[in-house]
Amino acid sequence: MTTIKHHLTDALLMGYSAGTLPEAFNVVIATHISMCDTCRAALAEYDAVGGEVMMSGDTVELAEDSLQATLALIADNAFRQEEEMRADAIASDVPTPLQDYVGGDLSNVKWRKIGGGVSQMVLPTSKDASVRLLKIPGGAAMPDHGHNGTELTLVLKGAFADDHDRFGVGDVEVANEDLHHTPIAEPGEDCICLAATDAPLKFNGFLPRIAQKIMRI
């Protein structure tokens, strides 16, 4: 059983529950929640608080068929969830929230090399933030960098360590402007991560800065 040590912050869980985060962040958060009992339970509590807030608000007139339409949506969603669970149980090595973005499983990922043996696939999301899959060969390092905004990095396979801690499968690193680091994949296995950013990274090296615009990092 995977032991997850690094979790989402309360602010991220509240933002996800309220629907105020960029799609790119939602992809990472939903994927982590699907892997983490602790954060899934915390999210349920925030959802419950949100429901209470809605119940205390002003009432509005509803269409006559609103109940039937809502029940139909619930039934359709339940059916879709059953289908997703069956498909997930059959074949995929990718958590369910991520499958539509990558086209199924890791064998469908269209990797693009970005230097130093590292490959990426940028996922299609709204433009207010970006999210990508990163594949870092065992023992290889990402370029030394800082952050202009927030970066969420979720480990899907393997592990990496930086100057501050180690992150294994299911762990999520929440980085902001205060963090400067050099992530290094553990030897022996490629590290595959899902990383979302809402601002460009700050690279120290000349070559990474040159490649930054081309690779959309």
In a domain, 78, yes or no: no
As a whole number of angstroms, the distance between CA 97 and CA 101 comes to 8
Q: Are 125 and 27 in contact (CB under 8 A)?
A: yes
Q: What is the pLDDT of residue 114?
A: 82
Q: What is the pLDDT of residue 206?
A: 44
In a domain, 67, yes or no: no
Report how far apart, in Å, the C-alpha atoms of 196 and of each of 34, 69, 124, 154 are.
17, 35, 12, 9
The closest alpha carbon to 120, from 129, 110, 128, belongs to 110
Residue 145: which residues within 8 A CB-CB, separation 6 or more?
180, 181, 182, 201, 202, 203, 204, 208
Q: What is the pLDDT of residue 207?
A: 47
Q: Are 171 and 181 in contact (CB under 8 A)?
A: no
36: CATH? 2.60.120.10
In a domain, 199, yes or no: yes
Taking only the tens of pLDDT, the chain with its 217 residues reads: 568 999 999 999 999 999 999 999 999 999 999 999 999 999 999 988 755 555 565 667 778 788 788 888 777 766 565 555 554 444 568 899 999 999 888 888 999 998 778 899 999 998 889 999 999 999 998 876 666 889 999 999 999 998 889 999 999 999 887 777 788 999 999 999 999 988 876 566 544 544 545 555 5
**Four-residue CA torsion sign, 131, 19, 159, 192:** negative
Q: Is the pTM of this model over 0.75?
A: yes
In a domain, 208, yes or no: yes
Q: What is the pLDDT of residue 210?
A: 46
Task: Tell me the residue range of the domain where 194 lies.
Answer: 1-59+109-217
Report how far apart, in Å, the C-alpha atoms of 189 and of each of 153, 159, 171, 196, 216 are.
18, 8, 17, 22, 26
In a domain, 33, yes or no: yes
CA 9 to centroid of chain Cα atoms:
13
Segment holding 80, helix H or strand E: helix 66-90
Q: What is the pLDDT of residue 181?
A: 75
In a domain, 157, yes or no: yes
In a domain, 83, yes or no: no
Number of domains in the chain: 1
